[in-house]
Chain A
């Protein structure tokens, strides 16, 4: 079974702090994704990475950056946290697209509150 582990379930930080959210997967997946989930808005893609050191912006990258130094780890960084970044953050991983059914596998999420 694929295991995607997010380092924290709950996190409380202050405005202006630099925040790191960590995600590790154990299935040697090339693709990794960061989403934020807000009520009524569903999942919105922040950034994704298709290989080590490779990244692409998603739909809402402003205020965020990412790091992928090793294949199994994908970090989301809030450079200077703001209250509008209070949200549930979800990490996912998958194999690259080959035309087969290849779902994304999700971690349990990190509920981040910025005070």
Chain B
């Protein structure tokens, strides 16, 4: 089945690292995305990883993909108060011409000063 799961809430102190986790069930996923939603706004693409990669780094962001366990994580180094938001992981399933994504439930990241 198609299901993407995330924990609902994470609280960290400013300057610490944050790790947001995601599990998915479809092993045929191709691209996996991380989106950020700030209060009152839409979703903004943060980063992505292709399914044949294990890791991707982009400035303070590190994405790790464990295909065997179907586990995706987003690490934010030196977390700032501006990182407080809801983070969604999403998978693009293999096959079909329509660019349909399956989204997780979202993780609310609260950064304490």
Bound together, the chains give a CA A104 to CA B103 distance in angstroms of 11
B26-48 toward A: CB 8 Å interface, digit per residue (1/0)?
A: 00001101010000111111001
Contacts of A107 in B (CB 8 A): 42
B101 at the interface (CB under 8 A from A): yes
B8 touches A31 (CB 8 A): no
A45 at the interface (CB under 8 A from B): yes
Task: Please pick, from B31, B42, B97, the residue contacting A106 in the complex, using a CB distance under 8 A.
Answer: B42
B48 touches A103 (CB 8 A): yes
Task: Please pick, from B8, B33, B99, the residue contacting A40 in the complex, using a CB distance under 8 A.
Answer: B8
Contacts of A106 in B (CB 8 A): 35, 42-44
B42 touches A4 (CB 8 A): yes
Contacts of A101 in B (CB 8 A): 31, 48, 50
CB within 8 Å of A: which B95-113 residues: 96-101, 103-106
A90 touches B99 (CB 8 A): no
Q: Which residue of B lies closest to A105 (CB)?
A: B45
A41 touches B105 (CB 8 A): yes
Bound together, the chains give a CA A43 to CA B105 distance in angstroms of 7
In the assembled complex, the CB of B105 is this many whole angstroms from the nearest CB of chain A, namely 4
Could you list which residues of chain A lie within 8 angstroms of chain B, going by C-beta atoms?
4, 31, 33, 35, 40-43, 45, 48, 50, 56, 90, 92, 94-97, 99, 101-109
Q: Nearest 5 A-B pairs (CB), nearest first?
A: A106-B42, A42-B105, A43-B103, A106-B43, A94-B99
